[in-house]
Every structure is written in C-alpha cells, then in structure tokens.
Structure 1
Amino acid sequence: MKYVITGLLALSLFGCSLTVQQPPVAKQTKNLYDQDSDGVINQRDRCSDTPIDAVVDNDGCPTFVKNSEENNIHVLFANDSSEIPESYMENIANMSAFLAKYPDTHIELKGYASPVGSAAYNVALSKRRAQAIRQALITEGVSPARIKTVGFGDSDPVKADDIEESNTLSRRVVAQVVGSQGDVVKEWTIYTVREN
C-alpha cells in the first residue's frame, strides 16, 4: 500500500507543470494620460485648468453653481439739502466694498425729494443728492463709469402716518445692486474637511 501511495504522489507531482503562463498584454486603445494633472484623462478633457477637486461633466469641465447677494444704499437728507449726513458714510463704504467684490456690476443712484416746493426745483434737488452719493462712491474708489444717477424729484413720496414723517422719508437716495459669481462644485471625498 505504501508503494501505491508513493507512486500516486510521484505521478501527481510530475503531472503538474512548474511553469506559469504569462497573462495576456492589454492593448490600450484610449488615451488615459492626464497631461495637465487636473484629474481628468486627456480623452475626456475639454477644459483646461479644471480644479483637482471639482465635480466634472462628460467633457471634463467643472460644474458651477451661481451665488448671488445684494447690497443697498438708502440715505436720507435734511430738508432742501444735498449734504450727506455723517451717519450714512458707513453705508456708502459698504457699497464701495461690495462693488469692488463684484467688478462687473454697475449702480444706479435714484434721488428723490419731498413734495415741498416746485416740481422743477425738486427734480434738480434730487439730482444733486444722487450726485453727492456718486461723488462719495468715487472718493471710496468706485470707477465713475460704473455709476449712473437719476433724479425723480417728488414723484414718488414715501407713505407714512403723517405728512412730516412722509416728507422726512421722501428726501432720499436709494440703490440696489445684485452681484453674482460662479463657484465650482467640489467633489466629496473621504479626505474632505467640513468648513466651519
């Protein structure tokens, strides 16, 4: 019996090949390189300078989401005056910073007056008020080409409980600017850290 087991063992050892066949070589048919190191292979890369952590579309271009915010100017003036009260200078400085953040935006300053005096005088007064705010923005560094002024006179008085309050609130310059910009949508990975 010993001889039979030894013989079978010897036959089984000699029956197995001691060499292993080489695996087939894969033939690469597409360009899988990433020459600009942006994380998108050349075959799909239609956009240069894709941020490395961006979510990309089928052309390898980053996905953008639009963000927008707005800023307002609302300055009240004394009766028959176009002098800016000191308390509103911070509002003007904030608008200047907002316009610097969004360099493609423009501002239209709308001047108004209370319905006291002649309509022609009030139109001229409302224009002077808007021009005063314009000059303050220019002093803060805003390009004059980005600022338009309009004087509406007493054509749009503010409604209030009494005539005195209505007149006070009607002596104003207002403007609203909406700025928007696109941000790249970032891909989540296990290495992503939440921003606080």
Structure 2
Amino acid sequence: MKYVITVLLSFSLFGCSLSVPQPPIAKQTKDLFDADSDGVINQRDRCAETPVDAVVDNDGCPTFVKNSEENNIHVLFANDSSEVTESYMENISNMSEFLAKYPKTHIELKGYASPVGNAAYNIALSKRRAAAIQQALITEGVAPSRIKTIGFGDSDPVKASDAEESNALSRRVVAQVVGSQGNVVKEWTIYTVREN
C-alpha cells in the first residue's frame, strides 16, 4: 500500500507541468516616460525641457513670476555746453549694465535746454546733449540701435525757487528704462540652498 501511494504521489507531481506560461506583452501606445523629470509623463508634457527644480502645472509647464525694475539717467550740463562731466559717468555706466541685463529693452534719451537765448538754437543744443549721452552709452558697449535721442529745446523748464536754479536744472538729459523678465518659481526641497 505504501508503494502504491508513493507511485501515485510521484505520478501526480511529475504529471503536472511546473512551467508557468508567460503573460502577454502589453503594447504601449502612449509615452509614459518622463524625459525632463518634472513629474508629468511625456504624453501630457507640453513644456518638454522644464528645469528640474521648477514648480510645474498639470501640463508640465513651469510657473513664472514676472518681476521688473527701472533705471534712470539724469545728467545736468553747464550753460551752452553738451560736454558730459566725469561726475555723471557712473550713472551712464550703471545704465549700460542695466541695458545689458535686459537685452530686449531700448532707451530714449530726452535732451533739454534752459529758456535762455534763441529757441531754435536751444533745440539743436538739446539734441547735441542727448547725442553726447548716446555716444557715452555706445562707448560703454550699448548697441546704437537700442538708443533713440530727442531734443526738446527749452519747452519744459524745471520749476525752482529762482530763475538761476531753474536754468541750471533745465539743462539736462533724462531717460527712464523699465526692464522686466520672468523667473521660474523654484520648488523647495531639503537640498535647496538659500541664495544670499
């Protein structure tokens, strides 16, 4: 009896197949990879090269925050002069650095004269003053195509306590440039290092 049970048991063990059939291979029709590691699969990712540390929306696009800053030029001139004094060169240098930081911006230099003398002469003088600042910016590396000059003559005198002070403040070239750019909002992680 013992022999029969052993034979039956061995037949039952060897009679069953020990190999399991391989499951069918699913054909993937969608791209489920995440090439830029932003957490959004390639199939849904509309912004393919997102920076790794950016905060992204459901389409894989980074969140931008727009910031802007402005810079001014305010240069005064001596009577009947278009010569730029050394004391204003730092102001001009700062403007050239600002324009380099925001390469899509342009500058419009507005020249003025004091209401002394012939109006036509004052318009020409105000244009020469604006051109002098333009040349100083070009010397600092700003492309001429980014600079526009206008001479207003004595049409907009600066109000002051007396005529002499008004005339001194009216002999000027001014400009205001606003630069803006979008920065990617970065995701905080335990590896984030604070920038000083």
Superposed pair shares fold, TM > 0.5: yes
Partner in structure 2 of residue 90 of structure 1: 90
CA–CA distance in 2 between the matches of 1:29 and 1:135? 62
| Aligned partners of 1:70 and 1:177 also within 8 Å | yes
CA–CA distance in 2 between the matches of 1:48 and 1:31? 13
CA RMSD of superposed structures (Å):
2.0
AA matched with 1:163: A
Partner in structure 2 of residue 192 of structure 1: 192
Residue-pair matches, total: 172
TM-score when scaled to structure 2?
Answer: 0.82
Partner in structure 2 of residue 151 of structure 1: 151
| Aligned partners of 1:76 and 1:172 also within 8 Å | yes
Partner in structure 1 of residue 23 of structure 2: none
| Aligned partners of 1:113 and 1:122 also within 8 Å | yes
CA–CA distance in 1 between the matches of 2:76 and 2:175? 12
Query: 1:41: how far off?
Result: 1.9
Alignment of 1:1-196 (within 5 A): 31-196=31-196
Dislocated runs of 4+, deviation >6 Å: 27-30
AA matched with 2:185: V
What do residues 48-72 of structure 1 show as CA deviations (whole Å, max 9, x unaligned)? 2101111111210001111111110
| Aligned partners of 1:39 and 1:52 also within 8 Å | no
AA matched with 1:89: M
CA–CA distance in 1 between the matches of 2:186 and 2:44? 18
CA–CA distance in 2 between the matches of 1:78 and 1:60? 58
Q: Secondary structure at the match of 2:173?
A: strand
Q: Which moved more, 1:76-85 or 1:30-39?
A: 30-39
Structure 1 spans left out of the alignment, 5+ residues: 1-26
Q: Secondary structure at the match of 1:100?
A: helix
Query: 1:86: how far off?
Result: 0.9
**Fraction of identical pairs, as percent:** 86
CA–CA distance in 1 between the matches of 2:114 and 2:78? 10
CA–CA distance in 1 between the matches of 2:120 and 2:142? 30
| Aligned partners of 2:113 and 2:154 also within 8 Å | yes
Query: 1:168: how far off?
Result: 0.3
AA matched with 2:191: Y
| Aligned partners of 1:68 and 1:179 also within 8 Å | yes
CA–CA distance in 2 between the matches of 1:71 and 1:149? 17
Query: 1:39: how far off?
Result: 4.0
TM-score when scaled to structure 1?
Answer: 0.82
